[in-house]
Structure 1
Amino acid sequence: MQLFKTLVLTAGLGFALAASAQWQWVDKDGNKVFSDRAPPSDIPDKNILRRPGGNRPAPPPVAVDAAATPAAPQAKGTDPALEEKKKLAEEAEAAKKKAEEARIAAARAENCTRSRQAKASFDSGLRIARTNAQGEREILDDAARAAETKRLQEIIAADCR
């Protein structure tokens, strides 16, 4: 008998918990509606009386006149530490850019020197031999010498300014 009373009490509490997970709102005709599902989207928030968990809807925000509230004080000046960091970052970036330009200029000067030396060799009239992809040595003919001389002249024109 004691077990039966405990089961009935547990079932009753279970039904009470299920009932507390209900929505309650006032429909467009003014009738209170209870449901386990959310109200339709055409029901305004002000007509929702209860949500599951007993949370009431938040009150609508009150419009505040912007002229009536004082504006937040504007920070005058700047943060010196931030300005110093910004300045150091800009200087580091400028130094990095200058170093890159110096590296490119040195590479161009090296290309210019090598191209002029190679062109001098081609202009001397000596036979020029190269190693092909198979590792065999081949002598350049007049067409290949002319093409290589033209390529070297383009490199000189681009890098020797």
Structure 2
Amino acid sequence: MTLHRPLLLAGLLLASLSAMAQYQWIDKDGRRVFSDRAPPADVPAKNILSQPRGGAASAAAPAAAESAAPAASAAVTAAKAPAPGVDKALEDKKKQAEAAEAAKQKADEARQVAARADNCKRAQGAKATLDSGMRMARVNAQGEREVLDDTQRAAELKRVNEIIAASCR
């Protein structure tokens, strides 16, 4: 029984704390007004002296929220909307990234075209040498020089023709 009384007293004290939540402001006639409701929307923020939960006098958003709900919801929507400068900057960054990617792809394609043209030129030179009929030699895996016979020459000519077909389009 002795434990129940302090708990009951603590519960009553906690319930009474919500009654202490009051607004205090100066109305248009210069009188101090105390209320448990937010001041009307026509009261400037500088005239609000105190709010519940230690709110500062400059916070007029709760007062406007209770008395003018549509205006407050419009303000919240406007606050959630991104700033115009941020969107423009983001769009500019996206455009720059896309332009950089396009330039990189163009450079890669140009390198591939140049490599293909070089391969074509070399293959055509090798074909001209093979078609000339003069003796050709190459170095084998052991580092020795060996002269190409007719079958090796035909295989090399076939390989060079495939390179020309692939690179010289």
Structure 1 unaligned segments of length 5 or more: list them: 1-69
Tell me how far apart the structure 2 counterparts of residues 156 and 146 of structure 1 sit (CA, whole Å).
15
Partner in structure 1 of residue 102 of structure 2: 94
Partner in structure 2 of residue 60 of structure 1: none
Tell me how far apart the structure 2 counterparts of residues 123 and 87 of structure 1 sit (CA, whole Å).
53
The offset of 1:107, in angstroms, is: 0.2
Partner in structure 2 of residue 79 of structure 1: 87
Q: TM-score, normalised by structure 2?
A: 0.51
The 5-angstrom pairing of residues 1-161 of structure 1 reads 73=77, 75=81, 79-161=87-169
Partner in structure 2 of residue 23 of structure 1: none
Tell me how far apart the structure 1 counterparts of residues 122 and 98 of structure 2 sit (CA, whole Å).
36
Aligned partner of 1:75: which letter? Answer: A
* CA RMSD of superposed structures (Å): 1.9
Aligned partner of 1:154: which letter? Answer: E
Query: Cα deviations across residues 12-61 of structure 1 (Å, max 9, x unaligned)?
Result: xxxxxxxxxxxxxxxxxxxxxxxxxxxxxxxxxxxxxxxxxxxxxxxxxx
Aligned partner of 1:152: which letter? Answer: V
Structure 2 unaligned segments of length 5 or more: list them: 1-72
The offset of 1:134, in angstroms, is: 1.0
Tell me how far apart the structure 1 counterparts of residues 137 and 87 of structure 2 sit (CA, whole Å).
68
2:99 is paired with a residue of what secondary structure? helix
Q: TM-score, normalised by structure 1?
A: 0.53
The offset of 1:98, in angstroms, is: 0.1
Tell me how far apart the structure 1 counterparts of residues 90 and 147 of structure 2 sit (CA, whole Å).
66
Which structure shows the higher helix fraction?
Answer: 2
Tell me how far apart the structure 2 counterparts of residues 131 and 159 of structure 1 sit (CA, whole Å).
25
Query: Cα deviations across residues 86-115 of structure 1 (Å, max 9, x unaligned)?
Result: 000000000000000000000000000000
Tell me how far apart the structure 2 counterparts of residues 130 and 143 of structure 1 sit (CA, whole Å).
14
1:79 is paired with a residue of what secondary structure? helix
Tell me how far apart the structure 2 counterparts of residues 79 and 131 of structure 1 sit (CA, whole Å).
64
The percentage of counterpart residues that share the same residue type is 65
